[in-house]
């Protein structure tokens, strides 16, 4: 006869002390997802506090729980140590696998993958513990740990020197944790710059058109990456140009510069946009297509061709 009825197994899987650690892991996982996507929390340090364990500890701990369901399989110190190492390995492998998928290593695919993996390990661990007798199931010693903490501050159990050392050690650990959270939540500001690039029809830095026929369209992509530590409204302008080389002065001169296309967009810090652009000209005679990027200060309409290029924030071109 089995040790538990079916109803008792369901209760065990959800509420019993032997699965309390898995319930805490599930609640923590849900809280971290909310911290990532809720508008207020995702801009605060709460997001860092909740999501760091999901990357550095939780996947590995749930994997260990699924593999070692018995109380005497491995001790608590080994479980915790292995949890950190396996979490880093699991996250790295998930990132490697995502890199070879159409979604890539981005926030949403990474969150979904880690959530599915962690929940699968939690379900497996709960199921395996249900199959065991109550005395054999691993149970995280929450009450014992709390008792150890209380006893460490109990004046009747320790000498004055021991109590002072315990308090100093606890404060040191707290300061170290808070410092780590602050460094991650408020990273040092790096170099400010904007990426500006052109991609060919296959969204690669190749296959640019070198011959252009009047009236035909040539698909391109224009990319902008904002790394200026603030939101910026950019303006893109493209021009058809005719340039001639002057042998006398050994310089190139702009003979004509006609506007072809204009587009504006606003990007937040660390946001990148890739904009489809169909290159098309209405007259012949161009030997260069100029791409100019302006930031918050747009160009003066009265500027001549050379001043317009010099006034741009970034400029690119393709020769045709």
* Structure confidence at residue 223 (pLDDT): 93
pLDDT at 179 over 80: no
* Structure confidence at residue 202 (pLDDT): 87
* Structure confidence at residue 252 (pLDDT): 80
Tokens at 262, concatenated: 């204009």
For the chain, the first-to-last Cα distance in angstroms comes to 84
* Structure confidence at residue 124 (pLDDT): 92
Mean pLDDT of 190-200: 88
Q: Is 173 helix (H, G, I), strand (E, B) or coil?
A: helix
Tokens at 100, concatenated: 């070879």
Mean pLDDT of 82-107: 86
pLDDT at 2 over 50: no
Convert the pLDDT of each residue in 153-172 to its tens digit.
555 555 666 667 667 766 77
pLDDT band at 88 (very low <50, low <70, confident <90, very high): confident
| Distance from C-alpha of 31 to C-alpha of 23, rounded to nearest angstrom | 12
Closest by CA to 218, choosing from 233, 238, 234, 236, is 238
pLDDT at 1 over 60: no
pLDDT at 83 over 60: yes
Per CATH, domain 193-319 is 2.60.40: yes
Higher pLDDT, 173 or 32: 32
Mean pLDDT of 131-156: 69
**Structural domain spans, the chain:** 6-139, 141-188, 193-319
pLDDT at 127 over 50: yes
Convert the pLDDT of each residue in 10-31 to its tens digit.
555 555 556 788 888 999 999 9
Mean pLDDT of 220-233: 91
Convert the pLDDT of each residue in 254-272 to its tens digit.
888 889 999 999 999 888 9
pLDDT at 220 over 60: yes
Convert the pLDDT of each residue in 30-52 to its tens digit.
999 998 888 887 777 788 888 88
Reported in sequence order, the residue ranges of the chain that DSSP labels E, i.e. its strands, are 193-199, 218-227, 232-246, 251-267, 272-279, 288-294, 314-319
Tokens at 61, concatenated: 């701990």
* Structure confidence at residue 42 (pLDDT): 79
Question: Count of residues for the chain?
Answer: 320
Tokens at 250, concatenated: 């050994």
Mean pLDDT of 88-111: 87
């Amino acid at each position: 006869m089995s040790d538990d009825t079916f109803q008792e197994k369901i209760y065990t899987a959800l509420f019993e002390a032997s699965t309390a650690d898995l319930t805490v892991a599930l609640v923590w996982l849900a809280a971290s997802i909310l911290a990532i996507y809720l508008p207020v929390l995702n801009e605060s340090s709460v997001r860092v506090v909740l999501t760091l364990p999901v990357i550095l500890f939780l996947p590995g701990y749930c994997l260990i729980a699924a593999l070692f369901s018995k109380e005497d399989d491995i001790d608590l110190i080994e479980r915790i140590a292995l949890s950190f190492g396996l979490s880093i390995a699991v996250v790295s492998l998930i990132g490697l696998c995502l890199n070879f998928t159409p979604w890539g290593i981005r926030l949403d695919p990474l969150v979904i993958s880690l959530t599915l993996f962690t929940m699968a390990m939690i379900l497996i661990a709960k199921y395996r513990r249900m199959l065991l007798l109550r005395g054999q199931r691993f149970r995280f010693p929450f009450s014992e740990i709390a008792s150890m903490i209380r006893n460490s501050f109990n004046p009747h159990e320790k000498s004055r020197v021991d109590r002072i050392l315990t308090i100093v050690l606890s404060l040191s650990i707290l300061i170290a944790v808070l410092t780590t959270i602050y460094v991650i939540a408020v990273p040092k500001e790096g170099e400010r710059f904007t990426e500006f690039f052109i991609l060919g029809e296959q969204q690669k830095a190749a296959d640019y058109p070198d011959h252009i026929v009047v009236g035909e369209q040539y698909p391109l992509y224009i990319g902008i990456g904002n790394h200026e530590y603030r939101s910026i409204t950019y303006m893109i302008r493209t021009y058809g140009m005719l340039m001639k080389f002057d042998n006398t002065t050994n310089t190139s001169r702009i003979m004509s510069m006609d506007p072809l296309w204009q587009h504006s967009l606003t990007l937040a810090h660390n946001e990148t946009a890739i904009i489809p652009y169909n290159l098309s000209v209405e007259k012949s005679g161009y030997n260069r297509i100029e791409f100019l990027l302006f930031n918050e200060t747009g160009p003066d309409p009265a500027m001549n061709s050379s001043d317009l290029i010099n006034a741009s924030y970034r400029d690119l071109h393709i020769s045709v």
